[in-house]
Amino acid sequence: MKYIGAHVSISGGVENAPLNARAIGAAGFAMFTKNQRQWNAPPLTAEAVAAFKKNCAGCNYTADMILPHDSYLINLGQPDPEKRANSIRAFTVELSRCYELGLTMLNFHPGSHLKLVSEEEGCRIIAQSVRAALQEVPDVCAVFENTAGQGSNLGYTFEQLAMMLENVGMPERVGICIDTCHAFAAGYDLTNEEGFEKCFADFDRLIGMQYLRGMHLNDSKGVLSGKLDRHAPLGDGALSWFTFEKIAGDPRFDHIPLILETPDESRWIAEISRLRQLAGC
């Protein structure tokens, strides 16, 4: 079973996310738990939490089908300790909101070293930040998302992601989300059989497939190794449908959220339907 869906809106309240996911035929979904472009948000009310859980149950969504995403403002790799403390606090709040909602994962971009420290030191800073937050909130897994390698963003190689996971030192509380556009932009060629198999063989060797907790299915407007984080609708970019047919037909990607972040929401129903047909579900 593949949990194919999209990153849906929480407009009107987090409790609307599962309803929005069901409306597009999703078997899984992603969401923010607050406004992603603001540092602060009102606490979740007991009524909103209860309604979210009720709607998830009514739509047959369980926690392993849902991959929430944190705020874009957070930078756990910020070299300045005082500024980094703000990001750690915000990330801890995001973990807490997931815990309140009964969710077990929080997807996030690892962070940026801002060209103030080495990439290796940046990876260690990110791991320390994640560990500090995880120690404050139980049960929620911190899911690192690979990046395209743009600017000074870290996490664009499997080696960097492996280093971060190892330095967190809490293997039961960490995981990885692979974004197909980001992987391609960073140099992982998913457009042919040889490249696809090499990519995931390298992932398994360096990190382990057991740490793959979700995927973002996005085509790419950029070229291989171009470090351009620009998503395209499935089949309209450099990856083509080959990549997504491979993922849909591969049992290694069963039982994890497979989430569209493609830019044309009007195509989500069709994209989800085709992916589910290819997956036989």
Q: pTM for this one?
A: 0.97
Is 173:134 a contact under the CB 8 Å cutoff? yes
Structural domain count of the chain: 1
Q: Note the pLDDT of residue 36.
A: 87
CB proximity list for 227: less than 8 A, separation 6 or greater: 148, 149, 150, 156, 185, 186
Q: How far apart are CA 248 and CA 275, in angstroms?
A: 6
Task: Say which of 97, 173, 216, 274 is annotated catalytic.
Answer: 216
For the stretch 255-276, pLDDT in tens is 999 999 999 999 999 999 999 9
- Residue 5 β-bridge partners: 28, 259
Task: Say which of 70, 94, 119, 179 is annotated catalytic.
Answer: 179
Task: Say which of 97, 173, 182, 274 is annotated catalytic.
Answer: 182
Q: Note the pLDDT of residue 160.
A: 98
Residues of the chain predicted below pLDDT 70: none
Q: Note the pLDDT of residue 40.
A: 87
Q: How far apart are CA 281 and CA 276, in angstroms?
A: 5
Q: Note the pLDDT of residue 281.
A: 83
Count of residues in the chain: 281
CA within 13 Å, CB half, 26: 31
Domain residue limits at 194: 3-279
- What is the average pLDDT score of the chain? 97
Is 231 one of the annotated active-site residues of the chain?
yes
Q: How far apart are CA 26 and CA 269, in angstroms?
A: 8
Instruction: Give the single-character DSSP code of 35.
Output: -
Both ends of the chain: CA-CA distance in Å?
Answer: 7
The CATH number linked to 9 is 3.20.20.150
